[in-house]
Amino acid sequence: MPKGKKNKGKFEHRRTEQPYSSDEDAGIDMTIDNCSETSGQSDLKSIHDEADNEILEKLEEKVLEDIDALSARSNAARAAALVSLRNALQRRYLATVLANQRATLADHITRALRRGRDGERKAAAAIAPLLALQIGEEGAEEFVREVRPALAAAAVDKTASLETRTECCTSLAALCFLLEEDLTEILEVMRMYETIFSGSYLKGDGSVKVSGSAVEEGLLHAAALDGWALLLTLLSPQHAHTLLHTQAPSFARLAELLEACSVEVRMAAGGALAIAHERITDPETDVTTPQYVEVILPRLEQLARDSHKYRAKRDRKIQRATFRDILKYFEEEEAPALSVRVGGEHLQNTAACKARTLARNKSRDKRSAALAL
């Protein structure tokens, strides 16, 4: 091949492979990026809102179905509806849905607590505080006034199962702590609690009750003691001081519960003593009872180091951890740190993650189509 022709071919080949100018490339890329970024954000928000609204609508429909099911003839069906309704209320704040159902819900809960079987009574007790919080301020007072006596009656009803009575004690304490403003009613509930956990006091001769009922009712007595201690925090320091010195239980009686055969009662007693001491210790009024601290410290130290082999390994571990914190409070006035886990926030993050994935896939499809052009 002639030399000139060969060089000419190379020159022409180089010219045909010249790249696009930087301005052109930048213009194309910026157009695509701007389009995908703007539309991506818009799509993400719209998809997330649509998904959230769809979830909320389905949940509201389910709640209304559950409320209708509370009128079912079957006791098992009513209990299942209460459990389902409780699960829904734990996921979302649905005051707007419950606004027109206040009287109906109060009637259903009260009837279930008074006439239902154990499964229904337990489910009704568990959902009562949630309903009181969600029906709104206008109906909360009336709801508490109607439901509280039924909860208290079920808590002391010996024909009910221990699990149902325990749930009633826990829910009643939460209900009164959050919404009850009548001090007379609070004190009445506290006296009722004392009649329950008094079953774990020492015998007249100072010995520990080790009967089968004392062991079986340990969780019930612990729930009543926890409820009593929670409501004690609603009293002023002076009122709490007077109560602990003039009515049952006294500090001495609370200290007796540290000897109970139930590990749950022992731990609840330690917590109640710490709360009682904190409540009546007021730096401004110098109201304190150091003599009781001197009495219980040796026992707290024993429980914080308890290694008796006849106790279950799990019970020993939990008891030691609990009483180490209680002992540290009495010795150094340092309370353990608390952490709160919000279950609904995991559900919201999951929905947001799903919406982001859908938006990202849609954005990639648009980018691929633009590049293909």
What is the per-residue pLDDT for 46? Answer: 59
Nearest to 224 by CA among 256, 278, 175, 269: 269
Domains and CATH numbers, the chain: 40-181 (no CATH), 188-335 (1.25.40)
Q: What is the pTM of this model?
A: 0.76
What is the predicted pLDDT for the residue at 14? 43
Distance CA 64, CA 62 (A): 5
| Predicted confidence band of residue 149 (pLDDT cuts 50, 70, 90) | very high
pLDDT-derived band at 230 (thresholds 50, 70, 90) equals very high
pLDDT tier for residue 227 given thresholds of 50, 70 and 90: very high
- Residues linked to residue 287 through DSSP beta bridges, in sequence order: 282
Average pLDDT, the chain: 81
Compare 363 and 271 and report the one with higher pLDDT: 271
Owner of token pair 């926030």: 345
Task: Give the DSSP H or E segment for 283.
Answer: none
Mean pLDDT, to the nearest integer, of 164-174?
A: 97
Please tell me the least confidently modeled range out of 221-230, 305-314, 364-373. 364-373
191-200 confidence digits (pLDDT tens): 999 999 999 9
List the one residue out of 367, 355, 368 whose CA is nearest residue 44: 355
Using the predicted structure, report yes or no on whether residue 361 has a pLDDT greater than 60: yes
Per the CB < 8 A criterion, the answer to whether 59 and 88 are in contact is yes
Instruction: Tell me phi and psi for residue 211, to 5 degrees.
Output: -70, 165
81 HSE (CA, 13 A, CB side):
21
Reply yes or no on whether the pLDDT at 248 is more than 60.
yes
Task: Identify the residue with better confidence: 367 or 239.
Answer: 239
The pLDDT of residue 319 is above 90: no
What residues contact residue 27 under an 8 Å CB cut-off, 6+ apart? none
Nearest residue to 256 via CA among 290, 216, 214, 286:
214
What's the pLDDT band for 363 if we cut at 50, 70, 90? low
Predicted confidence at residue 282, as pLDDT, reads: 62
* One-letter amino acid for residue 371 of the chain: L
Mean pLDDT value across residues 143-158? 95
- Looking up tokens 């709801």 gives 143
| CB neighbour list of residue 301: distance below 8 Å, 6 or more residues apart | 327
pLDDT tens sequence across 253-311: 999 999 998 999 999 999 999 999 988 886 655 555 567 888 899 999 999 987 665 56
Q: What is the mean pLDDT of residues 88-101?
A: 87
Of 130-139, 218-227, 293-302, the poorest mean pLDDT is in: 130-139
SS3 282: strand
Taking each helix axis from N to C terminus, what angle separates 263-280 and 313-332, rounded to the nearest 10 degrees?
10
Q: Is the pLDDT of residue 154 over 90?
A: yes
**Helices 75-91 & 343-372, crossing angle to 10 degrees?**
60
Measured CA distances, 81 to 63, 172, 233, 261 (Å):
9, 21, 34, 38
pLDDT at position 358 is 74
Report the Cα 91 to chain-centroid distance in Å: 11
237: closest CA among 283, 190, 198?
283
Looking at residue 135, what is its pLDDT? 86
Q: Which residue has the higher pLDDT, 333 or 77?
A: 77
pLDDT, tens digit, 9 for 90 and up, residues 335-352: 777 666 655 557 666 666
CB atoms within 10 A of CB 272: 22
Bridge partners of 282?
Answer: 287
Exposure string for 125-148, b = 16+ CB within 10 A, e = fewer: bbbbbbbbbbbeeebbeebbebbb
